[in-house]
Amino acid sequence: MEQKKTNIRELNLEQLVESLASIGEKKFRAKQIYEWIWKKGAHSFSEMRNISQKVIDFLEITYFIDAITISDQQKSKDLTIKCAFKSFDNHITEGVLIPTTSRITACISSQVGCSLSCKFCATGRLKLMRNLSGGEIYDQVLILNRLSLQHFEKPLSNIVLMGMGEPLLNYKNMMEGIEKITSEEGLGISPKRITVSTAGIGKMIKKLGDDEVKFNLALSLHAANDVKRSRIMEINDSNNLEVLADSLKYYYAKTGNRVTFEYIIFKDFNDTLMDARELADFCKNVPVKINIIEYNPIDEGEFQQASTENVDAFAAYLEALNLVVNVRRSRGKDIDAACGQLANKNGAIALKERVLK
């Protein structure tokens, strides 16, 4: 019977030391392998050039690396790059590289599909297939950083977990991935350059506070009215605005980190000055900044983009109250890479056929 291999990226350094000791290898050898995996981003054991063939053979027999690879890649006319990532078990997720004059941002995924079914989001129409591992979350950053250097001759400046899936429903793996992205034994990227976006799971927002995280938190709010928010986000039925306000206050008390509210603005739904007033009232709970996001239509979607006049009036109302407001214009729409559009349209036909059965 063939021995079942273990994902080597699930081992910490101490466990790897113990494993290598079983074949008579010293501690420094495990440290070398660990560095190949996390610092250098090796996706195969054969890449580990300073490791003996004897050890490589042991690793090949005993372990595998749950590496992801690019199965499809598209470049927008605004230079945004969307990648379809293929996992070792043939699942597809998507990530986006977004260049602007001031920064280069990697938008990465936390799950294959999503379970939340938000009405305005194409990803929500896919079933949740599985969580991504910490290594797969790390790999997206590794690959997009290499693409950034290749295409723009600059490393990533920011990372946002705003792709496919709900990060707080994959909490352990998300935290492990971010730990490797930020640690000196990994990519060494400052946690202040990382933002985790959530649809709003109160108890997990509190857990972020308990863990005193250093990265940034963004809440996909989109309405500061329970009736409206529940209409577009089912998660609001179990995590309403009162629950979210309580969890955000707890999070802020523990971390001191200002929260970002993401507010996709829809025509004739949440784009009036009354909606802006409700949002301003909700902003009194914790120090915040507000990103007003242009809506990106999806196939057979029920919403439309708000008019420029309404968006500008909405933002001006909030700014008059001394709130920090940014209006985010969408990028990558021509390749379905904009906010809410990630749904494996390219490079993932087989997955979608499985999901929709």
196/118: higher pLDDT: 196
Confidence of residue 123 (pLDDT cuts 50, 70, 90): confident
Q: According to the 3-state scheme, what is the secondary structure of 63-77?
A: EECCCCEEEEEEECC
Please list, residue by residue across 76-96, b when 16 or more beta carbons sit within 10 angstroms of its beta carbon and e when fewer do: bebebbbbbbbbbeebbbbbb
Range of the domain at 50: 6-64
Residue 52 shares a structural domain with residue 102: no
DSSP letter (8 states) at residue 266: B
Mean pLDDT of 184-196: 96
Q: What number of other Cβ atoms are within 10 A of residue 150's Cβ?
A: 9
Residue 273 shares a structural domain with residue 236: yes
Angstrom CA distances, 230 to 222, 256, 264, stand at: 10, 29, 15
Which segment of 38-42, 122-126, 207-211 scores lowest on mean pLDDT? 122-126
Q: What percent of the chain has pLDDT over 70?
A: 90
Mean pLDDT of 50-63: 97
Round to whole Å and give the CA distance between 228 and 221. 11
Residue 74 shares a structural domain with residue 193: yes
Total structural domains within the chain = 2
> How much is the pLDDT for 321?
97
Q: Is residue 153 part of a domain?
A: yes
Sign of the CA dihedral 289, 95, 192, 165?
A: positive
Q: Is residue 171 part of a domain?
A: yes
Burial of 330 (0-12, 13-18, 19+ CB in 10 A): middle
Catalytic residue among 83, 107, 114, 339: 339
Catalytic residue among 94, 136, 176, 262: 94
Q: Is residue 327 part of a domain?
A: yes
- Taking alpha carbons only, the member of 130, 90, 83 closest to residue 110 is 130
> How much is the pLDDT for 1?
41
SS3 5: coil
What is the CATH number for 326?
A: 3.20.20.70
Residue 49 shares a structural domain with residue 175: no
Mean pLDDT of all residues in the chain?
90
> How much is the pLDDT for 280?
98
Confidence of residue 334 (pLDDT cuts 50, 70, 90): low
Residue 52 shares a structural domain with residue 74: no
Residue 43 shares a structural domain with residue 117: no
Q: What percent of the chain has pLDDT over 90?
A: 82
Residue 56 shares a structural domain with residue 128: no
Residue 125 shares a structural domain with residue 209: yes
Pull the structure tokens for residue 168: 């707080």
Sign of the CA dihedral 238, 241, 245, 246?
A: negative
Residue 46 shares a structural domain with residue 143: no
Confidence of residue 328 (pLDDT cuts 50, 70, 90): confident
Catalytic, 294? Answer no
pLDDT beyond 80 at 140? yes
Mean pLDDT of 298-307: 79
Round to whole Å and give the CA distance between 202 and 58. 45
Residue 55 shares a structural domain with residue 100: no
Round to whole Å and give the CA distance between 32 and 109. 29
Catalytic, 121? Answer no
Angstrom CA distances, 156 to 37, 46, 82, 151, 217, stand at: 20, 27, 15, 12, 19
Round to whole Å and give the CA distance between 126 and 295. 19
Of 64, 97, 114, the one marking the end of a domain is: 64
Contacts of 44 (CB under 8 A, 6+ apart): 65, 67
Round to whole Å and give the CA distance between 97 and 141. 10
pLDDT tens-digit map of 70-94: 999 999 888 999 999 999 999 999 9
Which helix (H) or strand (E) segment is 160 a member of?
strand 158-161
Alpha helices in 96-190 (DSSP H): 134-152, 171-182
Pull the structure tokens for residue 3: 């021995």
Q: Strands, DSSP E only, in 179-245?
A: 194-198, 216-220
297/294: higher pLDDT: 294
pLDDT tens-digit map of 252-280: 999 999 999 999 999 999 999 999 999 99
Round to whole Å and give the CA distance between 30 and 264. 47
Of 64, 81, 103, the one marking the end of a domain is: 64
Residue 59 shares a structural domain with residue 10: yes
> How much is the pLDDT for 332?
54
Of 14, 30, 64, the one marking the end of a domain is: 64
pLDDT beyond 90 at 137? yes
Angstrom CA distances, 210 to 166, 179, 250, stand at: 19, 16, 9
Tally of residues, the chain: 357
Are residues 218 and 200 in contact, defined by beta-carbon separation less than 8 angstroms?
no
pLDDT beyond 70 at 224? yes
SS3 313: helix
Residue 178 shares a structural domain with residue 138: yes
pLDDT beyond 80 at 111? yes
Q: What are φ and ψ of residue 165, in 5° steps?
A: 95, 170
What is the CATH number for 12?
A: 1.10.150.530
Q: Is residue 1 part of a domain?
A: no
